[in-house]
Amino acid sequence: MLRAQRLVARVAQTAATRWPAQLRRLSAVPGTPEYEEEQAAEFSRSDEFYESEGVDRRYYFFVDSLGRLFGESTHPKGITTSIKSDKFLDFFFSQIRPNAREHAGADASIVSQYPWISPCGPEMNFVRAADTAVVFTELRESPGGGHELVYGGTLRTPMVPERLRMSPEGRLYHLLSGKRLGRDVPCLVRSSVALGVAEGIELSEEGAGGRQAGVVRWEGQTYPLLWLDEGEEARRRPQARCA
C-alpha cells in the first residue's frame, strides 16, 4: 500500500512537467469527491423536469468513480441508492456509446451536457460520469487462464497489461473497444483494483520526456506502461454533439 501511495505522488510530480496545463486541469478534476459533489449539485434539476422528460421517455443517469450507477435525480447518492440489478446494469452498459446524434423533442442545450447515451428501445438514457462512463470494478481470474476486468454487473473483458494507461494524477485506465462504445476508449480502473496492479508498476526516471510512463510487472512478465495521449484523453471524456 505504501508503495502505491508513493507511486501516485511521483506520478503527479512527473506529469506536471509533461502535460499541457489545460489537459492537466481537465484530467485532474474528475473523480475527486469534491468534483462529484459539485457535479451532483450543478446538474440537480427540478422534479418537474425529470417528470416531464419521463413522459417523453428520456431519462438521466450518473456514474460515479466507483462505477456505481444512479438515477440523476437520486439524492443522496450512495451504496444504498445505487442501481444493483446485474441484468439491468449489463444491458445498460452494453448499450453505452458517445452522444453523437439528434434527439427528437429534446432540449439540445441540456442533452449536450451528457457525453454518453444508452438507448433502450424507444427510451433514451442520457449519461454523465465523474470520470468515465465505464468503470472496471473487479479483477477476476479467467476460467481459461489469465485475468478479466469486470464492469456493469457481470460484463467482462480480458485484462491486457499493454492496454493499461496512466493519467497525470496517477489514475489507472484500461482501454476498452466495442461496436457501440468505440475503439480503444480509456475506462477507469476502480481505485481498490488499481492499488493491487500498482504494486507492480515502476515509473521511468526519464518519464517526463516521453510517452512511456514506466513499466508494469504482471504475472512474471514486464510490459510498457504508457501515459494517456491526447486522443485517448478526448475519447475518455467525449464532447456530446447534439443538434
How much is the pLDDT for 25? 36
> Residue 111 pLDDT > 70, yes or no?
yes
**What's the N-to-C CA distance of the chain in angstroms?**
47
Alpha carbon distance 174, 136 (integer Å) = 8
> Residue 226 pLDDT > 90, yes or no?
yes
Chain-wide mean pLDDT for the chain?
83
Q: Are 6 and 66 part of one and the same domain?
A: no
- Examine residue 139 and state whether it is found in any structural domain, yes or no: yes
Average pLDDT over residues 200-226: 85
In which domain, by residue range, is 190 found? 2-29+134-236
Q: Are 119 and 145 part of one and the same domain?
A: no
- Examine residue 18 and state whether it is found in any structural domain, yes or no: yes
Q: What number of CA atoms fall less than 13 Å from residue 202's CA on the CB side?
A: 7
- Examine residue 104 and state whether it is found in any structural domain, yes or no: yes
Q: Are 180 and 229 part of one and the same domain?
A: yes
Q: What number of CA atoms fall less than 13 Å from residue 97's CA on the CB side?
A: 13
Q: Are 197 and 182 part of one and the same domain?
A: yes
Q: What are phi and psi of 204, to 5 degrees?
A: -75, 140
> Residue 4 pLDDT > 60, yes or no?
no
Q: Are 37 and 21 part of one and the same domain?
A: no
Strand order in the sheet with 164-166: 135-136, 182-189, 172-178, 164-166, 221-227, 212-218, 201-203
Q: Are 148 and 229 part of one and the same domain?
A: yes
Q: Are 138 and 197 part of one and the same domain?
A: yes
Average pLDDT over residues 72-97: 94
- Examine residue 242 and state whether it is found in any structural domain, yes or no: no
Exposed/middle/buried for residue 79 (C-beta within 10 Å: 0-12, 13-18, 19+): exposed
Would residue 221 be called left, alpha or beta, if left means φ above 0 and alpha means ψ between -120 and 50 degrees?
beta
Q: How many domains is the chain partitioned into structurally?
A: 2
- Examine residue 173 and state whether it is found in any structural domain, yes or no: yes
Most confident range (mean pLDDT) of 78-82, 90-94, 206-210, 232-236 is 90-94
How much is the pLDDT for 36? 57
Where a domain ends, among 96, 129, 162?
Answer: 129
- Examine residue 153 and state whether it is found in any structural domain, yes or no: yes
Alpha carbon distance 81, 8 (integer Å) = 30
Who has greater pLDDT, 128 or 170?
A: 128
> Residue 91 pLDDT > 50, yes or no?
yes
pLDDT interval class at 144 (50, 70, 90): confident
- Examine residue 243 and state whether it is found in any structural domain, yes or no: no
How much is the pLDDT for 102? 77
Q: Are 78 and 105 part of one and the same domain?
A: yes
> Residue 135 pLDDT > 90, yes or no?
yes
- Per cent of the chain over pLDDT 70 is 79
Where a domain ends, among 129, 155, 188?
Answer: 129
Q: Are 109 and 139 part of one and the same domain?
A: no
Where a domain ends, among 87, 105, 129?
Answer: 129
Q: Are 98 and 156 part of one and the same domain?
A: no
pLDDT interval class at 12 (50, 70, 90): very low
Q: Are 24 and 101 part of one and the same domain?
A: no
